[in-house]
Homo-oligomer: A and B are copies of this chain.
Amino acid sequence: MPLSPPISSPTLPPTTQLRIELADRSYDIQIGCGLLDHPDAVACGARSSEALIVTNTTVAPLYAARLQHALAKHHARVCTIALPDGEAHKDFETLNLIFDRLLGDGFDRKAVVYALGGGVIGDMTGFAAACYMRGVAYVQVPTTLLAQVDSSVGGKTAINHPAGKNMIGAFYQPLRVIADLDTLDTLPDREISAGLAEVIKYGPIADDDFLGWIEQHIDALRARDKAALAHAVRRSCEIKAWVVGQDERESGLRAILNFGHTFGHAIEAGLGFGAWLHGEAVGCGMVMAAELSVRCGLIDATYAARIARLIERAGLPTRGPRLGAARYLELMRIDKKSESGQIRFVLIDAPGQASLHHADDALVAQVIDANTV
């Protein structure tokens, strides 16, 4: 007689599988419903007796036990740590809680770490995995729309420094990304909107047809229509996989994924991390970046207005906080894309096409003054 009841393995639900091609660091993204409970869906492919689920106090009561149960088929020991929730905790102090737990519980370098949560959990857990014993395996299990369409894919990990967002981190690819669309059911409306900012982003920078599709389906997406969400997540991941596959470490092309982020990071840092959601700041930042593209003579005003309108329809702010142009410029100068004190902006060159540009401070200040309240 077996010592514990065998875990049933129902048929795997329909799943879309995409691949990030990065030579020996290649991995799959699984997108579907009901994945979290399914031992085959959460298999990471690594042979390890020990796993740690890193999550936060909001997500833990919703999904940690279910993931832990599914992982029990693959690991003899599965532990969970729930960190405080929110961007304000994406810091050294919280990162150290992960290390304390890993060391306190005797996890060795064959351990696998699962990041169960949104972008903050994914970024911080990925960075902890990159550094623990100089690197252990990790799996992304994103539970927010923003994490599913953007932050869980591509291996950018980091924590914030009081002086700037994501300043301390590593490029470190996960073993797998498991995006269970059902976890979006419990997401607050505000988080759905924040995630839509990163979905919308892929239109102007890479796929104008996708922008049109989002315009047609924005209400369905906000209403959490599963078919619409499935397409949005899949197409977003496809574009991100295509970009990251060409430029893993952001020596060029990958920077376009930061459309709206230079202004957005300044909003986040200027207000204090956590005041606005990352997606809210990015949404507002895209309005500013689109307007800067117009003022630089790259696109016409109707295209920028179209983007601003869609961001508004997604339930996102389109005007930034009035920190003053000088403060915005100061904060943007410590952006990672800056070189020799010159800020570089991702601007739209044409519908569905973007690249890095310098812009005169005076022009940037005009955009900030016109778009802050």
Q: Is A49 an interface residue (CB 8 A)?
A: yes
A333 nearest CB neighbor, chain B only: B106
Q: Do the beta carbons of A135 and B103 come within 8 Å of each other?
A: no
Interface size class of A (residues with CB under 8 A): 35 or more
Q: Do the beta carbons of B99 and A132 come within 8 Å of each other?
A: no
Complex: A291 Cα to B165 Cα, angstroms: 51
> Assuming the A-B contacts A92-B96, A341-B106, are A169 and B134 also in contact, with contact meaning beta carbons closer than 8 angstroms in the complex?
yes
> Assuming the A-B contacts A99-B161, A103-B161, A163-B104, are A133 and B170 also in contact, with contact meaning beta carbons closer than 8 angstroms in the complex?
no
Q: Do the beta carbons of A103 and B134 come within 8 Å of each other?
A: no
Q: Do the beta carbons of A99 and B167 come within 8 Å of each other?
A: yes
A-B contact pairs, 6 of them (CB 8 A): A108-B336, A132-B168, A134-B157, A134-B166, A134-B170, A135-B170
Contacts of A339 in B (CB 8 A): 108, 110
A39 → chain B closest CB, angstroms:
22
Mark out the residues of chain A between 329 and 362 whose CB falls within 8 Å of any chain B CB in the assembled complex. 333-334, 336, 338-341
Mark out the residues of chain A between 102 and 134 whose CB falls within 8 Å of any chain B CB in the assembled complex. 103-104, 106, 108-110, 130-134
Q: Do the beta carbons of B161 and A108 come within 8 Å of each other?
A: no
Q: Is A63 an interface residue (CB 8 A)?
A: no
List 18 additional contacts besides A49-B340, A108-B339, A110-B339; criterion CB under 8 Å. Answer: A50-B340, A103-B161, A103-B334, A106-B334, A108-B338, A108-B340, A109-B336, A110-B340, A130-B170, A131-B168, A131-B169, A132-B168, A133-B336, A134-B156, A134-B249, A134-B336, A135-B171, A170-B170
Q: Is A158 an interface residue (CB 8 A)?
A: yes
Q: Is A164 an interface residue (CB 8 A)?
A: yes
Q: When each residue 145-189 of chain A gets 1 if its CB lies under 8 Å from chain B and 0 otherwise, what string results?
A: 000000000001110010110111111000000000000000000
A201 → chain B closest CB, angstroms:
20
Complex: A190 Cα to B92 Cα, angstroms: 35
Complex: A161 Cα to B157 Cα, angstroms: 21
Q: When each residue 77-97 of chain A gets 1 if its CB lies under 8 Å from chain B and 0 otherwise, what string results?
A: 000000000000000100010
Contacts of A132 in B (CB 8 A): 167-168
A166 nearest CB neighbor, chain B only: B134
A273 → chain B closest CB, angstroms:
15
Complex: A365 Cα to B328 Cα, angstroms: 62
